[in-house]
């Protein structure tokens, strides 16, 4: 397998903005943050991309979006958004896993958002001066009869892994959890986003902000 790559950038950037939130980002939109070539050795091994960006905003309720492109295809293959308030900072993380043909591939990360969207800065402050950075990590995930290996030591072999993603836009109907709630969160609260694969697999649910 190809060794993982790890890129960082502490360059504070801005983007003109004006993007329509909720639409698929195009490769001609936004501002480039990373471009990395990575070679897939085995087409049966998934490629995993992990990217983290820290957004800043000059105005209130500004959306910032990470967009991932592979091999120059116009549409983003994955994107992740966060909402930043006036002069605040908010980190966002994009995780993507997929199978690609063996050989070299180019991965590009761009960011875009509403008017007044930044990376590692806002109108008044530059986070890069404090050692903050954005990152991009790409790796090839090995699979086999016993699955990926855990850290060294007895009992650290992963027998099976199950990955799931959800890109559906949906509201969390009746999902708010009051701050006064002192009991554990119930299965009936919130909105289910993944279906368990077995009785031993935990359900994943999404909740609106506590009020």
CA distance 112 to 16: 8
Task: Supply the DSSP string of 49-110, one letter for each residue.
Answer: EEEEEEEEESSSSEEEEEEEEETT-SB-SEEEEEEE-TT-EEEEEEEEEE---SEEEEEEEE
* Per-position pLDDT tens, the chain of length 211: 678 999 999 999 999 887 888 899 999 999 999 999 999 998 889 999 999 999 999 888 999 999 999 999 999 999 999 999 888 899 999 999 999 999 999 999 999 998 889 999 998 889 877 778 999 999 998 754 444 444 444 444 444 455 555 656 556 665 566 655 657 677 777 777 766 655 455 555 555 544 4
Taking the domains of the chain in order of start, what are their residue ranges? Answer: 5-140
- In the block, which residue shows the tokens 């002192």? 182
Q: Please check whether residue 41 is in contact with residue 92, taking contact to mean a CB–CB distance below 8 angstroms.
A: no
Count of H-run helices and E-run strands, the chain: 0, 12
Helix, strand, or coil (residue 130): helix
Query: Is the dihedral angle over the CA atoms 9, 70, 2, 167 positive or is it negative?
Result: positive
Q: Please check whether residue 117 is in contact with residue 111, taking contact to mean a CB–CB distance below 8 angstroms.
A: yes
Q: For the full predicted model, state whether its pTM sits above 0.75.
A: no
**For 5-140, which CATH class?**
mainly beta
CA distance 56 to 88: 6
- In the block, which residue shows the tokens 């761009």? 110
As a dihedral over the C-alpha atoms of residue 54, residue 58, residue 62, residue 65, rounded to 10 degrees, the angle is -30
CA distance 2 to 40: 7
Cα 77 → chain centroid:
12
CB neighbours of residue 29 within 10 Å: 20
Q: Is 51 exposed, middle or buried (0-12, 13-18, 19+ CB in 10 A)?
A: buried
CB neighbours of residue 32 within 10 Å: 12
């Amino acid at each position: 397998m190809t060794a993982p790559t790890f890129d960082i950038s502490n360059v504070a950037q801005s983007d003109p903005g004006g993007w329509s939130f909720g639409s698929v980002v195009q490769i001609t939109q936004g501002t480039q943050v990373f471009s990395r070539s990575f070679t897939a050795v085995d087409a049966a091994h998934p490629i995993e991309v992990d990217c983290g960006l820290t957004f800043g905003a000059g105005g209130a309720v500004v959306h910032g979006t990470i967009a991932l492109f592979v091999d120059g295809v116009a549409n983003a293959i994955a994107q992740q958004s966060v909402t930043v308030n006036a002069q605040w900072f908010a980190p966002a993380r994009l995780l993507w896993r997929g199978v690609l043909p063996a050989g070299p591939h180019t991965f590009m990360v761009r960011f875009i958002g509403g008017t007044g969207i930044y990376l590692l800065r806002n109108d008044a402050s530059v986070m890069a001066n404090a050692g903050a950075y954005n990152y991009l990590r790409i790796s090839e995930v090995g699979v086999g009869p016993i699955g990926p290996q855990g850290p060294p030591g007895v009992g650290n072999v992963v027998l099976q892994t199950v990955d799931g993603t959800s890109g559906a836009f949906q509201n969390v109907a009746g999902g708010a959890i009051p701050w006064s709630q002192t009991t554990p969160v119930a299965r009936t609260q919130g909105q289910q986003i993944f279906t368990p694969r077995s009785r031993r697999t935990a359900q994943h649910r999404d909740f609106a902000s506590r009020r």
